[in-house]
Amino acid sequence: MLGVLKKPLSKMIAGSPWVYRMNTGSCNGCDVELATVALCPRYDTSRFGVKLSGSPKHADIVVITGPMTIRCKDAAYRIFSQIPEPKVVMTVGNCPISGNVFQDSYAIDPPISKHFPVDVSVAGCPPSPWAILDGFVKCIEIWEKRVAEQLD
Amino acid sequence: MLMQVLEKLFNLFVFPGFLFMAIIGLYFVGIHRKIVARIQRRIGPPIDQPFKDFAKLMIKEDVTPEGAAKGLFSVAPYITIIGVVIGMMFIPVGMAQAPLDTAGAFLILLYLITAAAVGVMVAGSASSSPYAAVGVSREMALVIAYDLSLIIVFLTVAIKAATIEAVAGNGATDLLNYSINSIVAAQATRPFILDWTMIPAFLAFLMIIPANLGLPPFDVVEAETEIVEGPMIEFSGSRLALLQLGSAMKAFFVCSVIVVFFFPGGITAASGVLGTITNIIWHIFKAWLVYFFAGTLVSASLGRRRIDQAVNFYLTVPLVLSIISLGLVLAKIG
Amino acid sequence: MLTTLKTVLANIAKGPATSQYPFKEEKVPAGFRGKVTYDPTKCIGCKTCVHVCAGKAIKINEKEDSFDFTIWDGTCTRCQMCENFCPTGAIKVTDNYHNAYLAEDAYKRACYGNIPYIHCSECNKTIKPLPEVVAQEKLKGENSAYIERSVICPDCRRKMMAKDLMKGLAR
Q: What is the pLDDT at residue B223?
A: 63
Q: What is the pLDDT at residue A77?
A: 93
pLDDT above 90 as % of chain C: 2
Supply the DSSP symbol for C138. Answer: I
Q: What is the pLDDT at residue A39?
A: 72
Q: What is the pLDDT at residue B201?
A: 92
User: Cβ of A114 under 8 Å from any chain C Cβ?
Assistant: no
The predicted complex's ipTM stands at 0.88
CB B61 within 8 A of CB A85: yes
CB C117 within 8 A of CB C126: yes
Q: What is the pLDDT of residues B189-225, one digit of tens each?
A: 888 888 888 899 999 999 999 988 888 888 877 765 5
In a domain, A2, yes or no: no
Q: In angstroms, what separates the C-alpha of B39 from chain C's closest C-alpha?
A: 5
- Kindly give the confidence (pLDDT) of every residue in chain B, 334 residues in length, as a single tens digit, with 9 standing for 90 and above: 888 888 888 888 888 889 999 999 999 999 999 998 888 888 889 999 999 999 888 888 888 888 878 888 888 889 999 999 999 988 888 777 788 878 888 889 999 999 888 888 898 888 888 888 888 888 899 999 999 999 999 999 988 888 887 776 655 555 567 788 888 888 888 888 888 888 999 999 999 999 888 888 888 777 655 556 678 888 888 888 999 999 999 999 999 999 999 988 777 777 778 888 888 899 999 999 999 999 888 888 888 888 888 999 999 999 999 999 999 988 877 6
In a domain, A9, yes or no: no
Contact A118 C103 (CB under 8 A): yes
Cα atoms in the Cβ-side hemisphere of radius 13 Å centred on A145:
7
- Residue of B40, B229, B237 lying closest to A55 (CB–CB): B229
Whether the ω angle into residue B217 lies within 30 degrees of 0, i.e. cis, is: yes
Length of chain B: 334
Contact C21 A138 (CB under 8 A): no
Question: Which residues of C fall within a CB distance of 8 Å from B36?
Answer: none
Exposure string for C124-154, b = 16+ CB within 10 A, e = fewer: eeebbbbbeebeeeeeeeebeeeeebbebbe
Question: Which residues of C fall within a CB distance of 8 Å from B300?
Answer: 8
Per DSSP, the three-state class of A108 is strand
In a domain, A5, yes or no: no
> What mean pLDDT is predicted for residues C57-63?
88
Pairing of strands A88-92, A61-65: parallel
Best CATH choice for the domain C31-116 from the list 3.30.420.40, 3.40.50.410, 3.40.50.800, 3.30.70.3270: 3.30.70.3270
Please tell me the pTM assigned to this model.
Answer: 0.86
Question: Which of the four pLDDT bands, split at 50, 70 and 90, describes residue C138?
Answer: low
CB under 8 Å to C155, separation ≥6 — which residues? C123, C125
List the domain boundaries for chain C.
31-116, 118-171
Neighbouring subunits of B (3+ Cβ pairs under 8 A) = A, C
In a domain, A82, yes or no: yes
Whether C2 shows a pLDDT value over 90: the answer reads: no
What is the distance between the alpha carbons of residues B203 and B111, in angstroms, rounded to a whole number? 21
Cβ pairs bridging A and C (under 8 Å): 93
Q: What is the pLDDT at residue B174?
A: 57
Contact B53 A12 (CB under 8 A): no
Query: Total structural domains in chain A?
Result: 1
Contact B63 A9 (CB under 8 A): no
Print the domain residue range for A47: 14-150
What is the distance between the alpha carbons of residues B54 and B30, in angstroms, rounded to a whole number? 12
Q: What is the pLDDT of residues C12-24, one digit of tens each?
A: 888 777 777 777 7
Q: In angstroms, what separates the C-alpha of C169 from chain A's closest C-alpha?
A: 56
In a domain, A109, yes or no: yes
Report residues of chain A scoring pLDDT below 50.
none
Among C123, C91, C97, CA closest to C22: C97
CB C59 within 8 A of CB C96: no
Q: Which amino acid appears at position A15 of this protein?
A: G
Q: What is the pLDDT at residue B172?
A: 56
What is the distance between the alpha carbons of residues A133 and C105, in angstroms, rounded to a whole number? 18
CA distances from A116 to A88, A96, A106, B45, C106 (A): 11, 11, 20, 30, 15
Whether the ω angle into residue B77 lies within 30 degrees of 0, i.e. cis, is: no
CATH number of the domain residue A70 falls in: 3.40.50.12280
Residue of chain C minimizing CA distance to B302: C4
Question: Which residues of C fall within a CB distance of 8 Å from A38?
Answer: none
Neighbouring subunits of C (3+ Cβ pairs under 8 A) = A, B
Q: In angstroms, what separates the C-alpha of A87 from chain B's closest C-alpha?
A: 9
- Residue of C11, C17, C18 lying closest to B39 (CB–CB): C11
